[in-house]
Amino acid sequence: AVAFLCNRIKRSCTASLSSTVCYCAFLNVILHSVVVVCLCNVQYFENLFLLFRFSEMADIITESSTVTTVSETTEVRCQEKTRGGLCYEVILSEPEVKATPPKRPNSPNNNKNVSIQDIEDKLRAAEERRQQLELNKVAALSAQIMKIEEASRKKDEQTNNFISVTRDALEQKMETHIGKREAYIHELKSKMKDHIDTVEKTRLSLEQQCDEVRSALEEKMNSASHQRDENIKKMLERLKAHEEQVHRVKASNAEKFQQLETTIQEKLDQAKLRREQLEQEQKDKLRTHNTRAVEIKSFQEIRKTEVSTKMETKLMSAEQKREKEIQRKLEVVKKNVGFYLFLFIFFS
């Protein structure tokens, strides 16, 4: 096992580790292996010192190698995998074995001559120590078990005491609560009895008042119905007297109505004649108005023709004047054409 661990340390020293995590895991494996070996045989305590020396040297060498190689062997890649962010990947390359590993220091040589008797004595002493350690462990375990039993016993006693005290307190509280509850129920019953008595008295008084009100209403209804019958009889008598008066008035006013009808008919006939006369007069006026409109229209047409002839004469005279002016200007231009050509040639 020690040779295997030494070979592992040698490989770790020669090859640069790519990450500190791997190195820590490796050291953890070494320490566990050393503990196992030491428990198996006491003779390997001397080799333990050498293993720790090798582990310290490996730590120093790997720290120096990782500092120089991480910057050279790492690679960072950037990828846009989402809309709003970037994904970075750190890629570690494989360790390179091209560099020459540093020399390991020579392990100290033990020049002691160990005899078989010494080895047996050491083994016997180790066995005695082991037995003593086991006895000490058993004694410690028995002491711990006794302590645990004592603690559990004390805990049970405390729990029982707490339960008894709590039970007594709860029983006392329950007794006081039951007494208070019974007193409260008794008081509530007395209050309810008083309330029921007052309610019964109020009910009886209300029933008596209702009977009195009912009898008063019945008396009022009877008197009101009797009064209503008397009023209806009086109204019927008044209506009969009114109808008789109406018949008498109609009979006395029949002659007056006949005279009024004759006078109204005469007035209607006169109004009809008057209306016919007015209609005839209006027709005559309309006829005369139509003839007047025709005369005015003919006069307006004559006036329009006169105005149009005057405008035509004015336009003809203006056209003649404009043609004469244009002719005069053309003659002036023809006379001065040579002068204008001379000026144009001179300035150009």
* Burial category of 9 from C-beta neighbours within 10 Å (exposed 0-12, middle 13-18, buried 19 and up): buried
Name which of 61-65, 189-193, 223-227, 338-342 the model is least confident about. Answer: 61-65
Lowest mean per-residue pLDDT among 5-14, 86-95, 196-205, 328-337: 5-14
Residues contacting 15, CB < 8 A, separation 6+: 95, 97, 101
What mean pLDDT do residues 286-303 have?
A: 77
Tell me what percent of the residues of the chain surpass a pLDDT of 70.
Answer: 63
* One domain, residues 173 and 54: no
Residue 164 lies in a domain: yes
Please tell me whether residues 14 and 131 are part of one structural domain: no
Within the chain, where are the H helices?
Answer: 2-14, 20-40, 45-73, 116-335, 337-347
Tell me, yes or no, whether 133 and 199 share the same domain: yes
Does 129 lie in the same domain as 50?
no
**Residues 244 and 176 grouped into a single domain:** yes
Query: Is this structure's pTM higher than 0.75?
Result: no
CA distance 16 to 318: 122
Cβ atoms within 10 Å of 61's Cβ, excluding its own: 18
Q: Which residues constitute the domain of residue 163?
A: 119-253
Q: Phi and psi at residue 78, in whole multiples of 5°?
A: -120, 130
Indicate whether 186 belongs to any domain: yes
Six-digit token string for 202: 């109020």
Q: Is residue 327 part of a domain?
A: no
> Is the same domain home to 67 and 153?
no
pLDDT at res. 184: 92
Q: Is the pLDDT of residue 4 over 80?
A: no
174 and 71 both lie in a single domain: no
Average pLDDT value for residue range 192-211: 91
pLDDT > 80? residue 202: yes
Number of domains in the chain: 2
Q: Tell me: do 56 and 140 sit in the same domain.
A: no
pLDDT for residue 292 is more than 80: no
With residue 88 as reference, give the H or E element that holds it. strand 87-92
Query: What mean pLDDT is reported for the chain?
Result: 74
Q: Is residue 157 one of the residues assigned to a domain?
A: yes
Radius of gyration of the chain (CA): 73
Is the domain of 249 the same as that of 123?
yes
Mind giving me the DSSP string for 94-132? Answer: PPP--SPPPPPPPPPP------HHHHHHHHHHHHHHHHH
pLDDT in tens, 295-317: 777 788 888 888 888 888 888 88
Q: Name the pLDDT band for 185 (thresholds 50, 70, 90).
A: very high
Domain contains 333: no
pLDDT at 33 over 60: no
Confidence at residue 90, expressed as pLDDT on a 0 to 100 scale: 62
- What DSSP string runs through 127-163? HHHHHHHHHHHHHHHHHHHHHHHHHHHHHHHHHHHHH
Q: Would 291 be classed as within a structural domain?
A: no
One domain, residues 36 and 144: no
